[in-house]
Amino acid sequence: MKTFTYDRVTSAEEALANGAGASFVAGGTNLLDHMKLQIVTPERLVDINRAGMDAIETTADGGLRIGALVRNSDLAADARVIAGYPVLARAILAGASGQIRNRATTAGNLMQRTRCPYFYDTALACNKRAPGSGCSAQDGHSRTLAVIGTSDLCLCQNPGDMAVALRVLDAVVEVAGPSGKTRTIPIAQFHQLPGDTLPIAEFALDPGELITAVTLPPPPGGAHFYRKVRDRSSYAFALVSVAAVIHGDGTGRIALGGVAPRPWASEAADAAISKGARAIADALFEGARPQEDNAFKIDLATRTIAAVLAEAKEART
């Protein structure tokens, strides 16, 4: 057991004033697991559960502003989300369990860390957990890990479901810094690729910054899909997932989960939607660096995209 201090705050301002060198606790479903395993050993915890930031508001342009502490269950059950952004509701409901979704928050979900087995095993080398120690995954078991966006330092995948839907919806992450300065980060840039420098930055947040909300543009229309392929039919992370919004004229947006350190999408892939699954996958996986164990993910993703396109075609007829 490592000792740490624990402070409970009642506003975002108070959280920011106390945030230097601390870890914010939201639902705690990821952070506390990591503390128990000593993957992380923060000296200070700041509990933000009573800091407000728990409303879902309609914005002036007809979009949504989702407070950082909105629970995953509440977001998936919101009538505006179900009507205007069903891909988001479906992605959230495909993740974890009811109990965890009742506790997990919008910001915490975005900030969930990789499920790489070597990140979890503190006896083994992991550059993400212990910068400079190496990456055991390079010569190890990589079945669940990323096939693209990786580097020699890290093969970690981003395990989240919700973020994949947020990627096709062009969500924007609102953050506030310790000085009170606010800024926004497009979801496409929020999760970082490992690159070749240490330590590995996972998120586009500066020290002490707090996520205050996630905003969505007005509903995109079209038919929405979230298809997740996993080893068990529930309570398992995606081997591959596909989020898509497909319009009647065959245009749309598509993003993959489980294959990269961030929700994986590209303009070229979106432009290829009318050309079929192979063309979309070719665009998405250009430059992929699969390992022997996880090369199957490229075929699996291609077939999952094909299944989504077939469902979209059926929805149009």
Ligand X SMILES: Cc1cc2nc3c(=O)[nH]c(=O)nc-3n(C[C@H](O)[C@H](O)[C@H](O)COP(=O)(O)OP(=O)(O)OC[C@H]3O[C@@H](n4cnc5c(N)ncnc54)[C@H](O)[C@@H]3O)c2cc1C
> By the criterion CB under 6 A, which residues form the site for ligand X?
23-31, 33, 48, 68, 95-96, 100, 103-105, 107-109, 111-112, 159-162, 210-211, 237
Q: Which residue is nearest to ligand X (CB)?
A: 108
Q: How far is the CB of 226 from ligand X (least distance, A)?
A: 11
Q: Give min distance, CB of 171 to ligand X, in A.
A: 15
Structure tokens at 64: 């949504």
Which of 170, 139, 146, 174 is closest to 160 using CA atoms? 146
* Cβ contact 291:155 at 8 Å: yes
Give, in degrees to the nearest 5, the angle at Cα 90 between 80 and 256.
120
Nearest to 175 by CA among 215, 201, 212: 212
For ligand X, the closer of residues 84 and 160 by Cβ is 160
Structure tokens at 250: 């065959």
* Residue (44 or 80) nearer to ligand X, CB: 44
Nearest CB to ligand X, comparing residues 30 and 304: 30
User: Taking the mean position of all CA atoms in its chain, how far away is CA 216?
Assistant: 15
Q: Give least dist CB 210 to ligand X, A.
A: 4
Q: Is the dihedral of CA 193, 199, 205, 206 positive or negative?
A: negative
Compute the least distance from the CB of residue 116 to ligand X, in Å.
14
- Minimum distance from CB of 112 to ligand X (Å)? 4
| Closer residue to ligand X (CB): 18 or 105 | 105
Residue 57 sits at φ, ψ, to 5 deg, of -115, 145
What is the C-alpha separation between 234 and 160, in angstroms, rounded? 14
| Nearer residue to ligand X within complex by CB, 222 or 258 | 258
CA distances from 132 to 63, 196, 222, 262 (A): 43, 11, 46, 22
**In whole angstroms, how close is the CB of 138 to ligand X at the nearest point?**
25
The angle at the Cα of 86, spanning 83 to 89, to the nearest 5 degrees, equals 115
Residue 139 beta carbon to ligand X: minimum distance, rounded to whole angstroms? 27
In the complex with ligand X, the residue whose CB is nearer, 227 or 273, is 227
C-beta of 179 vs 317, nearer to ligand X? 179
From first CA to last CA, the distance across the chain in angstroms is 60
